[in-house]
A and B are shown apart, each in its own frame.
Chain A
Amino acid sequence: EAGVAQSPRYKIIEKRQSVAFWCNPISGHATLYWYQQILGQGPKLLIQFQNNGVVDDSQLPKDRFSAERLKGVDSTLKIQPAKLEDSAVYLCASSPGTGRGQPQHFGDGTRLSIL
């Protein structure tokens, strides 16, 4: 089966600019996650969707980050305006559901550099 697709692979922007990332989960996976991974750290959950509804966005900096999954399939994550500390790899993952810790499958990520 096709894996989680993410684009772009790399993005370089200046601080205060805007950027958007796209993710297409594994077909049939109801749950979609966005993670931020700063160099030298493990992934940190930003937001979790179940179909097109938000399950957990408690760690999403809502003053600058937004995400949507309008049709319950692919998703976009936006940062506006970007800050230097947003430099990280943004990972998308999907799983069939959320019950009892279902395996999450990750995409290759988008590496964001803020100048």
Chain B
Amino acid sequence: GENVEQHPSTLSVQEGDSAVIKCTYSDSASNYFPWYKQELGKGSQLIIDIRSNVGEKKDQRIAVTLNKTAKHFSLHITETQPEDSAVYFCAAYSTGGGNKLTFGTGTQLKVEL
């Protein structure tokens, strides 16, 4: 089945700096890669996603890049703000071995003033 690895597990940045979170996946059949933001006591909010036929997608301060050859994808947050502090999860949707999302282990992002 699919295996998703996520790094780093914790990330601390100064307000205004950029943050990058990286994920790798194992199943070359995976074709959809969402990113979720989880704030304390709340469910996971979909913040951006990318499909395998696209190399990059941007939404205001958030961007995601995908390298299918290397089987890795990354989340980029620019001009970070305190409200960006949360746990971020990457996921990969695989059609091999069952159609389902496999999640990474999460990155705790802290934006310091």
Partner of B43, one of A56, A58, A100, A108: A108
* B41 CB contact (under 8 Å) in A44, A56, A105, A108: A108
State in angstroms the CA–CA spacing of A101 and B96 once bound together.
12
Contact (Cβ within 8 A) A106 B36: yes
Closest to A55 in B: B99
What's the Cα separation between A101 and B91 when bound, in Å? 11
Taking the closest CB of chain A, its distance from the CB of B89, in whole angstroms, is: 5
A-side contacts of B103, CB under 8 Å: 42-44
| Nearest-neighbor residue (CB-CB) of B90 within chain A | A42
Is A60 part of the binding interface, using a Cβ–Cβ cutoff of 8 Å? no
Given the interface contacts A58-B98, A101-B32, does A106 sit within 8 Å of B105 by beta carbon? no
Distance of A93 Cα from B93 Cα, bound (Å): 15
Within residues 3 to 54 of chain A, which ones have a CB less than 8 A from any CB in chain B?
Answer: 4, 6, 40-45, 48
State how many residues of chain A have any CB contact under 8 Å with chain B. 24
C-alpha spacing A56/B43, complex, angstroms: 22
| B51 at interface, CB cutoff 8 A | yes
Q: Which residues of A contact B43 (CB under 8 A)?
A: 4, 6, 91, 106-109
A103 cross-chain contacts in B, Cβ below 8 A: 34, 46, 49
Are B46 and A43 neighbours in the complex by a CB distance under 8 Å? no
Interface membership of B81, Cβ < 8 A: no
A108's nearest neighbour on chain B, judged by CB, is: B43
How many angstroms from the CA of A56 to the CA of B6 in the assembled complex?
25
Contact of A41 among B44, B91, B105 (CB under 8 A): B105
Q: Check B71 for interface membership: any CB of A closer than 8 A.
A: no
Q: Chain B residues near A107: list those with CB within 8 A.
A: 43
**Distance in Å from the Cβ of B63 to the closest Cβ of chain A?**
18
Distance in angstroms between the alpha carbons of A41 and B105 in the assembled complex: 5
B-side residues, CB < 8 A to A, are 4, 6, 31-32, 34, 36, 41-46, 49, 51, 89, 91, 93, 98-101, 103-106
A-B contact pairs, 9 of them (CB 8 A): A41-B106, A42-B4, A42-B6, A55-B99, A100-B32, A101-B93, A101-B99, A103-B34, A103-B49
